[in-house]
Structure 1
Amino acid sequence: MREHRRSTPRLLTAALAAGLLAGAALTTTATAPPAAAAPQERPSVQSLDTLRDWAPRQFRIGTAVAGGGHHTSADYPEPFPNDPTYRAFLADQFSSLTAENQMKWNHIHPEPDRYDFEQADAIVDFAEQNGQVVRGHTLFWHSQNPTWLEEGDFSPEELRAILRDHVETVVGRYAGRIQQWDVANEIFDDAGQLRTQDNLWIRELGPGIVADVFRWTHEADPQAELFFNDYNVEGPNAKSDAYHALIQQLLADGVPVHGFGMQAHLGLQYGFDGRMQANLQRFDDLGLATAITEIDVRGPVGEDGQLSPELRQRQTDWYAAALEACLAVEGCRSFTIWGVLDEHSWVPGTFPGQGDALTLEGDYQRKPAYCALQETLATGTGHPGRDRRWERISPRLSCAADRG
């Protein structure tokens, strides 16, 4: 029996949201259950002050919607279903949402004969109410699979049927409502070799299953753009070369591959790959859409949980450089920050002693990295969606005064 529970969140009042966006400390909380809301009216040019307002036309600035995964064992209620301030910020700041964990296998398909769509439905509904698109994440991955799947005694034929049913059920449910799907996630290791051992599907069904999952996804939703997605592919290297070669082969075979996503989980200790634009461009040259899908920039933090001023400046520069690289490539029209507040980030739990990876303080105050993104969106050139009026009104950026 499949669950079809639905929960549609409600925005804060306009006055509260305005105070939040100005960086004011919030003292008001809301405890009423969320309710449906009409689509939010966007502000006038004179009051433009958010990332989504400054983005070029047809360019999506996004974030991951915090929920599932590590949030279920954290010392705070899951942010999206429980925090109206958080939801108001999502609605105002971003034009694209990605389910951080709520569409992964272990969350949406927890038992063999049961799908749980409650939180995924709520995200998609919320996005539509607020004029946002959704990136679906993810259908085919070696991680965060449910125990019943990883430890089940299934024949190859049964596994193939399970995968196809999952794709048809999940993608079909949101057909026409998801802009982009991360279909195949992290299928190569850093040496550019297929994950033939830790990826259940490739190990048991062979490499040809990759083409099949793209075909099934396209059949379930012909309107969605279908992506490969991975980390450590910012520049040309063994892993990104492997994707480049595989995608050319799949395209030659008529497989519906439409995009390539760079996660860009960056560590300040490793250096910034200045070839990001060139690498995005070579996938663009294949006729693909490209995207920065999961960016955060982490580093070693002090007892206060923050980077040093020097590292924060480097972080600021890297965020801006990544966005500039995307804006410079015609087909790169989506840039997603992997979260809103550091207290919700996956980074500290995965990389002990590191953090401060996102663009806002815990009270929604803007870090220099946020201001760099806003300024880059407002003053950058070269993207086909650029409206020249932004350059004339850029002094109205609130961050301009903050950064002197």
Structure 2
Amino acid sequence: MMKVAAAATSLSLVAAAPYTPPTYTTPSNLTHPGLDILAKRAGLLYFGTAIDNVVLNNTAYVSIAHNVSEFGQATPSNGQKWMYIEPQQNVFNYSMADAIMKPAKEAGQMRRCHTFAWHSQLPDWVNNGNWTKETLTAVLENHIKNEAQYFKDDCYAWDVVNEAFEDDGSLRNSIWLQVMGPEYIELAFKWARQYTGNGTRLYYNDYGIERVNNKSLAVAEMAKDFIARDIPIDGVGLQAHFTVGRAPTYDEVSAALTLFDDLKLETALTELDVRILLPDSPEKQELQAEVYTNATKACVDVAECVGVTVWDFWDPVSWVPESFPGYGNACLLDDDLQRKPAYYAIEKMLDEVAKK
């Protein structure tokens, strides 16, 4: 994918040229062709969304979620996680994932698949098993094998390992690390390549790596080591769960993306949302629009960043209020499924880039 890369020389980086988005407090005068159409015109591969099973009975929501002009890529936000896919050992259930993957495929949307190995949302039988290194290794391989083969050729990309690092750059003390050791990460990537084949992009995915910091540098060093040892890795996903007032700048996101751009790895913003400390206000929505636009523009400008996925697009189904009490309104559409200033800001920026 050919785009203008942000300037950088090494893992220490030179930040990309600053971008200051204009303020958008009213709808643009575009005819709203759709964010995916505009993203493609601006040089991205897709603009996508996560979709959750809890609202699949809402026809208005579903019609937007699978509108390929708006969202050219779909990610099951929960349906492919371990607790739902393998709730009992060697008993696999793909119904939740299929409820999102099949309509996405029929609509012509790309699919990012999420996730094989993670410390969270594991069933009790995994968390509470009396494992040895040998037995847990077999469990992880069996899970990846079955899920990867079931969705073979259906996924543009897989988040193979999710959130394996702490903020200080050390490895997270998960059951995988405790029992299998650090090599569980490279084993997961080897099995993912073995069972998905060569056509699926294999990603490492994490939050808090949208700035150059201890965590993002540790991920970059792991990726560099994998490349040197021919461990299959194709990309790094920056989750991009942001907060108004504490979000990284355009320069910071650009620099973090460029860490992996320098390694010739594909990147994407995989779970973008921007939470607001409630009560909401027009001023906070304006700041939210700036954060959304900064992040998306950084992806547009860094050569190997292929796309942006929002972590759902409708405020009532956002994960934010439950996980961050007192915060909310993190998505692009409000309670009434109406576009918010952040939507219009992204829309206008993409349109302006495409016309240059």
Aligning the two structures, in what range does the TM-score lie when normalised by the shorter sequence? 0.7 to 0.9
Q: Distance in 2 between matches of 1:168 and 1:343?
A: 35
Is the 1:268–1:297 Cα contact (8 Å) retained in structure 2? Answer: yes
- The higher-RCO structure (CA 8 Å, 6+ apart) is 2
Is the 1:127–1:134 Cα contact (8 Å) retained in structure 2? Answer: yes
Q: Does residue 345 in structure 1 map to residue 321 in structure 2? A: no
Q: Distance in 1 between matches of 2:161 and 2:90?
A: 23
Q: Does residue 87 in structure 1 map to residue 62 in structure 2? A: yes
Q: Who is 2:155 aligned against?
A: 178
**In structure 2, the residue corresponding to 1:143 is in which secondary structure?**
coil
Structure 2 counterpart of 1:339, which letter? D
Cα deviation per residue 1:15-47 (whole Å; 9 max; x = unaligned)? xxxxxxxx9xxxxxxxxxxxxxxxxxxxxxx96
Q: Does residue 66 in structure 1 map to residue 58 in structure 2? A: no
Max radius of gyration: which structure?
1
Q: Does residue 276 in structure 1 map to residue 253 in structure 2? A: yes
Going from structure 1 to structure 2, the CA distance change for 1:61 and 1:271 (only over 3 Å counts) comes to closer
The Cα of 1:252 is off from its aligned counterpart by 0.5
Query: Percent same amino acid among aligned pairs?
Result: 35
Give the total of aligned pairs: 322
Cα deviation per residue 1:173-216 (whole Å; 9 max; x = unaligned)? 11111001111111001011101x2x111110010111111010
The Cα of 1:48 is off from its aligned counterpart by 5.5
Structure 2 counterpart of 1:187, which letter? A
Q: Who is 1:16 aligned against?
A: none
Q: Distance in 1 between matches of 2:241 and 2:343?
A: 16
Is the 1:293–1:336 Cα contact (8 Å) retained in structure 2? Answer: yes
Q: Who is 1:150 aligned against?
A: 127
**In structure 1, the residue corresponding to 2:66 is in which secondary structure?**
helix
Cα deviation per residue 1:260-287 (whole Å; 9 max; x = unaligned)? 1111100123243331112212201101
Is the 1:175–1:223 Cα contact (8 Å) retained in structure 2? Answer: no
Q: Does residue 54 in structure 1 map to residue 38 in structure 2? A: yes
Q: Residues 75-154 of structure 1 correspond to what in structure 2 (within 5 A)?
A: 78-80=54-56, 82-92=57-67, 93-154=70-131
Pick one of 125, 131, 136 that aligns with 1:159: 136
Pick one of 242, 247, 267 that aligns with 1:266: 242
Q: Distance in 1 between matches of 2:40 and 2:303?
A: 12
Give the alignment's Cα RMSD to 1 decimal. Answer: 1.6
**In structure 2, the residue corresponding to 1:380 is in which secondary structure?**
helix
Q: Distance in 1 between matches of 2:120 and 2:283?
A: 35
Q: Which runs of 5+ in 2 are unaligned?
A: 1-26
Is the 2:76–2:101 Cα contact (8 Å) retained in structure 1? Answer: no
Is the 1:48–1:54 Cα contact (8 Å) retained in structure 2? Answer: no
Q: Distance in 2 between matches of 1:125 and 1:271?
A: 35
The Cα of 1:53 is off from its aligned counterpart by 2.1
Q: Distance in 2 between matches of 1:96 and 1:257?
A: 21
Is the 1:99–1:120 Cα contact (8 Å) retained in structure 2? Answer: yes
Pick one of 329, 346, 352 that aligns with 1:373: 346
Q: Who is 2:334 aligned against?
A: 361
The Cα of 1:155 is off from its aligned counterpart by 2.0
Q: Does residue 293 in structure 1 map to residue 270 in structure 2? A: yes
Is the 1:262–1:292 Cα contact (8 Å) retained in structure 2? Answer: yes
Q: After TM superposition, where is structure 1 displaced by more than 4 Å over at least 4 residues in a row?
A: none
Pick one of 201, 204, 207 that aligns with 1:225: 201
Q: Which moved more, 1:111-120 or 1:286-295?
A: 111-120
Q: Which runs of 5+ in 1 are unaligned?
A: 1-22, 24-45, 68-77, 382-387, 392-404
**In structure 2, the residue corresponding to 1:286 is in which secondary structure?**
coil
TM-score by length of 2: 0.87
